[in-house]
Amino acid sequence: MHRFLDNVIWHTLTGYHAAYASGVGDARRYASGFSPMLGFADPARPRLDELAPYCTPGEHLYCGGWSGSAPTGWRIEEESTMFQMVWQGDSPDVNGELALVRLGPVHAPLALELATLTRPGPFGLRTPELGEYFGCFDGTRLIAMAGERLYAGTFHEISGVCTHPDFQGRGLARRLMTHLIRRQMQRGETPFLHVMRDNAGAHQLYQRMGFRDSCESVVRVIVPI
């Protein structure tokens, strides 16, 4: 695995997204309002003590790469595994006409509402500021979206992919992703993404599109107490 992908959250929070990060020493997190994710210089030895002053009791935070019990002052709320997948295909063709809207700050409440309903992963009101986000609308209602989050080296994550349940099965998410993949490849970037192990349908879709598994890793939701 490439060194940037091996610890991509840390490389992002100390690199391209350093302005959106909080923390000191060997520990960083996205600042409040962004995606609640943690990164560590050594994921196997997370310095949660260094992050405690930057976290709120009861806050749900995402991290991975370590095992064992939580240190004093923290509890493990959830644990699962996820696949990291890297694009291995050619630049995809545009598949049909689709009216896309570049999402901006005015759309942030709509994006958060859709993400809260569909749970595509850690998401905050300011998450769409982390990269390009595009959405599809039915009137004034945001019905599907996809965007960018982690970015290290030339690897750029596609994230926040979701569709309102009333509009699933129409290929909206796939066409939004295709749009992002084409834009990233035109910039010389390599698309990648994460998908939970139990989301078999999405995993198979991403494989058909041209993504391939890079690794499977533990992901935890932890809570400061």
Sort strands 155-163 and 141-152 into parallel, antiparallel or unpaired. Answer: antiparallel
Asked whether residue 17 falls in the same domain as residue 40, the answer is yes
Provide the total of helices (H) and of strands (E) in the chain, helices listed first.
Answer: 6, 11
Read off the pLDDT of residues 95-141 as tens digits, 9 standing for 90 and up.
666 789 999 999 999 999 999 999 999 999 999 999 999 999 999 99
Return the pLDDT at 149. 98
The DSSP letter of residue 20 is G
- Residues in Cβ contact with 46 at an 8 Å cutoff, skipping those fewer than 6 apart: 27, 38, 40, 63, 65, 66
User: Looking at the domain assignment, is residue 11 inside a domain?
Assistant: yes
Asked whether residue 8 falls in the same domain as residue 71, the answer is yes
User: Looking at the domain assignment, is residue 225 inside a domain?
Assistant: no
- Mean pLDDT in residue range 68-73: 93
The DSSP letter of residue 127 is G
Asked whether residue 101 falls in the same domain as residue 174, the answer is yes
Asked whether residue 155 falls in the same domain as residue 96, the answer is yes
Sheet bearing 21-22, strands edge to edge: 21-22, 27-30, 38-40
Asked whether residue 98 falls in the same domain as residue 193, the answer is yes
User: Looking at the domain assignment, is residue 77 inside a domain?
Assistant: yes
Number of domains present in the structure of the chain: 2
CA atoms within 13 A on the CB side of 165: 5
Asked whether residue 148 falls in the same domain as residue 210, the answer is yes
Q: How confident is the model at residue 76 (pLDDT cuts 50, 70, 90)?
A: very high
Residue 220 in this model has a pLDDT that exceeds 60: yes
Return the pLDDT at 208. 94
Residue 13 in this model has a pLDDT that exceeds 90: yes
The CA distance from 223 to 59, in Å, is 6
Return the pLDDT at 97. 63
- Domain limit, last residue, from 26, 61, 81: 81
- Domain limit, last residue, from 28, 48, 81: 81
User: Looking at the domain assignment, is residue 72 inside a domain?
Assistant: yes
User: Looking at the domain assignment, is residue 221 inside a domain?
Assistant: no
User: Looking at the domain assignment, is residue 61 inside a domain?
Assistant: yes
Q: Which two tokens stand for residue 87?
A: 């694009």
Whichever domain contains 137, its CATH number is 3.40.630.30
User: Looking at the domain assignment, is residue 44 inside a domain?
Assistant: yes
Q: Which of 159, 164, 156, 136 is nearest to 146 (CA)?
A: 159
- Mean pLDDT in residue range 173-185: 95
- 61-83 burial, b at 16+ Cβ within 10 Å, e below that, comes to bbbbbbeeebeeebeeeeeeebb
- Domain limit, last residue, from 81, 110, 133: 81
Q: What is the mean pLDDT of the chain?
A: 95
Sort strands 155-163 and 190-196 into parallel, antiparallel or unpaired. Answer: parallel
Q: What residue numbers bound the domain in which 193 lies?
A: 85-215
Q: Which two tokens stand for residue 128?
A: 């769409």
Q: How confident is the model at residue 92 (pLDDT cuts 50, 70, 90)?
A: confident
Return the pLDDT at 49. 95
Return the pLDDT at 96. 62
Phi, psi of 189 (to 5 degrees): -100, 160
- Mean pLDDT in residue range 13-29: 97
